[in-house]
């Protein structure tokens, strides 16, 4: 008994000593091991952020689609090694290949590696996902395929299909953004990979801790300055022009000149990011920012603005245009129309190359180059899109010669982009301030907090406000009678703009081609308080070639629809030329000659007919107004509009100016314009 008690005492002492070592001395290590066993850490790929337009309409969203994976160890559990397992793998491969439209040999090759996880097919359809569920259901299959799983994966979807495709870009299957905003803002949209902690049950399944915030597990949302409605109009009109005139391509930019916000960026041809694999690589290019071209006569407004600001030119000056032919540096310069003595306004209206080169030579090579640089040519606009071109002003390392200075004065020998033209014209429209273009309006995180928000940023003042207003008034002559772009005129609005029909260089000969042109129109409207700047570029039209005839109508339709969309009312006010008014001002005379005569404004009905009887109001004149303007005018008068048809008002009852009791219905008949 003594020996037995001694042995038991020694054993008990060993147990106590071991317990002391495990619980006290080695306790922290065992606790860490226990925590690792019951806790699990996952690196979670966040959901990609959504891209919206300026009004919150989704342009690019991430949705979850099923993908099929397999646990081969679970698939073969309970089967003897050898022929039984091989037969099971071949059977599973054949049935999966048939249901998922795959090659059976390739599926078997994946299963034969016998990994715990292997992708069978990613991003399957709903029908394929249901078939996979049926394959693993013992109630529906005599020989169910075990170990199959449906994993939810993020997939990028573009609700507008081809709408703004080159602007948005696309996302590759690996989750990386490619092209457009998806590439330039990839880091913000993807977000940061988060490490998630949580408990797991006896089967190893993760039980998320309630402290985890799932809102943080997603990328930032991006709101663009693009307006879905205006973008749709711009793309439709550009695509129609491309097919009508059989052009090689085209680009169109719509800018708010007061803020620099890009309301539309259209390229033709475009593509559908949902089916990017089936698109041509050339169609994915955002031509407005990446394509360079010789601008031609579109540079003349910036030339004249620089000369006026430098004091080398006055609006009243007259310039001898040499009857349409001029020799300089061994080259002969021709005007499209025979011109003799012209004012700066007439040079713009008739697009005289000889008049422009004389202004440029008088300004001088250094000042002309500096003037173009002030307007943003030859440097990037800093738009957040990949592949932006800077354009070329002159050969590196040397100034222009006289012949090059002359050609640069009317836009030859230099290259620009559509976006640069739009921003430069915005500087004239807004009073002389060159703004940075805004494409990304706002970025918000998963909590809805604003990460950053864009605001108007002035890069520099290019010309004084008085010079900008003077040039704007001069440019109205281009779109009125006697100008080169009467097709760009919009009824009810004063339009300022400039055309260009620039010859393209033939790469084979190195000389200007006789049949390849770039048709351009850039303008803004309304002149008094510009709301839109629209730049249209059509590359190599086959049917026609002149910018006023081809690009002008595209400008008119896009601007007119956009103004109506924005709720900008038409005005019947006569042209305003007060900023140019001087004693014996030849420029004013030119403006008066190039505009059609304006009828005197009618007197208000109340001034002729006296005040309406008590309890009644005068019926407003709705003739020529659109539906929205009719509702505003009639409702403001205290009457009820009753509209028939669509288009513009051609008849109304009661008659304009007549007295009617408040609440009376006014019947208006609208018909489409001829």
Q: What mean pLDDT is predicted for residues 167-196?
A: 84
The pLDDT tens digits of the residues spanning 615-632 come to 788 888 888 887 778 777
User: Within this chain, do residues 573 and 663 fall inside the same structural domain, yes or no?
Assistant: no
Percent over 90 (pLDDT), the chain: 41
Is the pLDDT at 215 greater than 60? The verdict is: no
Binned at pLDDT 50, 70 and 90, residue 217 comes out as: low
d(CA 166, CA 273): 8
In a domain, 26, yes or no: no
**207 three-state secondary structure:** strand
Q: What is the pLDDT at residue 579? A: 34
Last residue of some domain: 91, 111, 146? 146
In a domain, 363, yes or no: yes
Q: What mean pLDDT is predicted for residues 404-414?
A: 91
d(CA 144, CA 161): 40
Q: What is the pLDDT at residue 584? A: 35
In a domain, 186, yes or no: no
**322 three-state secondary structure:** helix
In a domain, 219, yes or no: no
Q: What is the pLDDT at residue 338? A: 84
User: Within this chain, do residues 483 and 544 fall inside the same structural domain, yes or no?
Assistant: yes
User: Within this chain, do residues 364 and 471 fall inside the same structural domain, yes or no?
Assistant: yes
Q: What is the pLDDT at residue 278? A: 86
The pLDDT tens digits of the residues spanning 508-517 come to 888 888 889 9
- Residue spans of alpha helices (H) in 436-576: 465-476, 547-566
Contact 361, 406 (CB under 8 A): yes
Mapping DSSP onto H, E and C, the string for 228-294 reads HHHHHHHHHHHHHHHHHHCCCEEEEEEEECCCCEEEEEEEECCCCHHHHHHCCHHHHCCHHHHCCEC
Of 399 and 599, more confident: 399
In a domain, 601, yes or no: no
Binned at pLDDT 50, 70 and 90, residue 580 comes out as: very low
pTM of the entire structure? 0.73
Of 122 and 202, more confident: 122
Number of domains in the chain: 3
Q: What mean pLDDT is predicted for residues 257-277?
A: 93
Residue 664 sits in a domain whose CATH number is: 3.30.10.20
Percent over 70 (pLDDT), the chain: 88
In a domain, 33, yes or no: no
Is the pLDDT at 332 greater than 80? The verdict is: yes
Binned at pLDDT 50, 70 and 90, residue 196 comes out as: low
Which residue in 299, 475, 458 sits closest to 371, CA to CA? 299
Binned at pLDDT 50, 70 and 90, residue 442 comes out as: very high
User: Within this chain, do residues 588 and 615 fall inside the same structural domain, yes or no?
Assistant: no
Is the pLDDT at 213 greater than 70? The verdict is: no
Q: What mean pLDDT is predicted for residues 648-672?
A: 81
The pLDDT tens digits of the residues spanning 275-330 come to 888 888 888 999 999 999 999 999 999 999 999 999 999 988 999 998 888 888 78
Is the pLDDT at 583 greater than 60? The verdict is: no
Tokens of 436: 């940075």
In a domain, 3, yes or no: no
513 in active site: no
Question: What average pLDDT is seen over the chain?
Answer: 84
User: Within this chain, do residues 471 and 327 fall inside the same structural domain, yes or no?
Assistant: yes
In a domain, 251, yes or no: yes
Last residue of some domain: 86, 112, 146? 146
Is the pLDDT at 207 greater than 70? The verdict is: no
Q: What mean pLDDT is predicted for residues 409-430?
A: 94
Contact 170, 178 (CB under 8 A): yes
Of 230 and 617, more confident: 230
Q: What mean pLDDT is predicted for residues 396-421?
A: 89
User: Within this chain, do residues 335 and 420 fall inside the same structural domain, yes or no?
Assistant: yes
Cβ-in-10-Å burial (0-12, 13-18, 19+) of 68 comes to: buried
Is the pLDDT at 168 greater than 50? The verdict is: yes
- Tell me which of 62, 267, 279, 297 is the catalytic residue: 297
Cβ-in-10-Å burial (0-12, 13-18, 19+) of 103 comes to: exposed
User: Within this chain, do residues 251 and 316 fall inside the same structural domain, yes or no?
Assistant: yes
User: Within this chain, do residues 414 and 496 fall inside the same structural domain, yes or no?
Assistant: yes
Q: Is the dihedral of CA 566, 570, 573, 578 positive or negative?
A: positive
The pLDDT tens digits of the residues spanning 119-138 come to 888 888 888 888 888 888 88
Q: Quote the longest CA-to-CA distance of the chain.
A: 138
User: Within this chain, do residues 304 and 427 fall inside the same structural domain, yes or no?
Assistant: yes
Q: What is the pLDDT at residue 632? A: 77
Q: What is the pLDDT at residue 658? A: 85
User: Within this chain, do residues 586 and 622 fall inside the same structural domain, yes or no?
Assistant: no
Binned at pLDDT 50, 70 and 90, residue 45 comes out as: low
Q: What mean pLDDT is predicted for residues 95-114?
A: 89
Is the pLDDT at 13 greater than 50? The verdict is: yes
Contact 495, 488 (CB under 8 A): yes
Q: What mean pLDDT is predicted for residues 484-501?
A: 90
User: Within this chain, do residues 574 and 630 fall inside the same structural domain, yes or no?
Assistant: no
Q: What is the pLDDT at residue 599? A: 45
Contact 424, 341 (CB under 8 A): no
Last residue of some domain: 99, 119, 146? 146
Show the domain range for 465.
Answer: 231-263+286-436+458-592
User: Within this chain, do residues 339 and 431 fall inside the same structural domain, yes or no?
Assistant: yes
The pLDDT tens digits of the residues spanning 337-391 come to 788 899 999 899 888 999 999 999 999 999 999 999 999 999 999 899 999 999 9
Residue 405 sits in a domain whose CATH number is: 3.40.710.10
Sheet with 532-539: list strands edge to edge: 261-268, 249-256, 532-539, 512-525, 496-505
φ/ψ bin of 173: left (φ > 0), alpha (ψ from -120 to 50), beta (otherwise):
alpha
């Amino acid at each position: 008994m003594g020996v037995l008690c001694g042995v038991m005492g020694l054993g008990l002492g060993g147990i106590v000593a071991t317990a002391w070592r495990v619980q006290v001395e080695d306790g922290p290590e065992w606790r860490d091991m226990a925590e690792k066993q019951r806790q699990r850490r996952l690196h979670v790929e966040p959901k990609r952020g959504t891209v919206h337009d300026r009004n919150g309409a989704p342009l690019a969203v991430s949705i979850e689609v099923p993908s099929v994976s397999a646990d081969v160890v679970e698939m073969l559990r309970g089967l003897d090694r050898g022929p039984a397992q091989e037969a099971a793998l071949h059977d599973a491969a054949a049935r999966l290949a048939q249901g998922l439209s795959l090659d059976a040999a390739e599926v078997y090759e994946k299963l034969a590696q016998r990994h715990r996880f292997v992708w069978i097919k990613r991003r399957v359809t709903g029908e394929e996902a249901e078939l996979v569920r049926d394959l693993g259901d013992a109630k529906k299959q005599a020989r169910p395929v075990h170990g199959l799983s449906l994993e939810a994966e993020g997939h990028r979807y573009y609700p507008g299909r081809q709408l703004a495709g080159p602007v948005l870009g696309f996302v590759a299957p690996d989750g990386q953004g490619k092209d457009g905003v998806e590439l330039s803002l990839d880091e913000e949209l993807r977000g940061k990979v988060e490490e998630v902690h949580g408990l797991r049950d006896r089967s190893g399944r993760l039980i998320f801790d309630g402290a985890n915030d799932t809102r943080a597990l997603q990328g930032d949302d991006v709101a663009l300055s693009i307006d879905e409605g205006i973008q749709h109009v711009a793309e439709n009109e550009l695509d129609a022009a491309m097919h009508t005139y059989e052009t090689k391509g085209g680009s169109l930019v719509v800018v708010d000149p007061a803020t620099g916000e890009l309301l539309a960026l259209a390229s033709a041809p475009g593509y559908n990011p949902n089916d990017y694999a089936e698109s041509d690589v050339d169609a994915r290019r955002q031509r407005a920012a990446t394509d360079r071209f010789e601008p031609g006569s579109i540079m003349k407004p910036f030339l004249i603005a620089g000369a006026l600001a430098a004091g080398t030119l006055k609006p009243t000056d007259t310039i001898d245009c040499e009857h349409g032919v001029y020799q300089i540096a061994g080259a002969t310069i021709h005007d499209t129309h025979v011109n003799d003595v012209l004012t700066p306004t007439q040079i713009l209206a008739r697009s005289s190359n000889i008049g422009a080169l004389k202004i440029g030579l008088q300004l001088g090579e250094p000042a002309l180059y500096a003037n173009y640089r002030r307007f943003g040519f030859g440097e990037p606009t800093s738009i957040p899109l990949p592949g932006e071109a800077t354009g070329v002003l002159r050969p590196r390392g040397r100034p222009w010669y006289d012949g090059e200075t002359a050609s640069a004065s009317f836009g030859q020998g230099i290259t620009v982009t559509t976006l640069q033209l739009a921003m430069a014209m915005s500087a004239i429209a807004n009073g002389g301030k060159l703004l940075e273009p805004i494409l990304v309006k706002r970025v918000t995180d998963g909590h809805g907090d604003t990460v950053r928000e864009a605001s108007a940023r002035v890069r520099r003042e290019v010309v004084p406000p008085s010079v900008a207003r003077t040039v704007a008034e001069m440019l109205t002559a281009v779109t009125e009678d006697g100008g080169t772009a009467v097709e760009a005129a919009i009824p009810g609005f004063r339009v300022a703009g400039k055309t260009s029909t620039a010859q393209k260089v033939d790469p084979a000969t190195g000389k200007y081609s006789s049949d390849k042109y770039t048709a351009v129109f850039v303008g803004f409207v309304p002149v008094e308080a510009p709301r839109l700047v629209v730049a249209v570029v059509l590359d190599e039209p086959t049917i026609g070639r002149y910018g006023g005839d081809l690009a002008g109508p595209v400008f008119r339709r896009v601007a007119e629809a956009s103004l109506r969309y924005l709720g900008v009312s038409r005005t019947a006010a006569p042209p305003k030329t007060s900023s140019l008014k001087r004693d014996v001002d030849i420029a004013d005379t030119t403006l008066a000659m190039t505009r059609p005569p304006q009828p005197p404004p009618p007197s208000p009905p109340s001034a002729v007919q006296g005040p309406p009887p008590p309890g009644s109001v005068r019926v407003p004149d709705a003739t020529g107004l659109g539906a929205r303007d009719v509702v505003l005018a009639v409702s403001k008068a205290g009457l009820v509009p009753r509209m028939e048809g669509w288009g513009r008002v051609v008849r109304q009852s009661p008659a304009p100016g007549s007295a009617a009791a408040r609440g009376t219905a006014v019947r208006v008949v609208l018909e489409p314009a001829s």
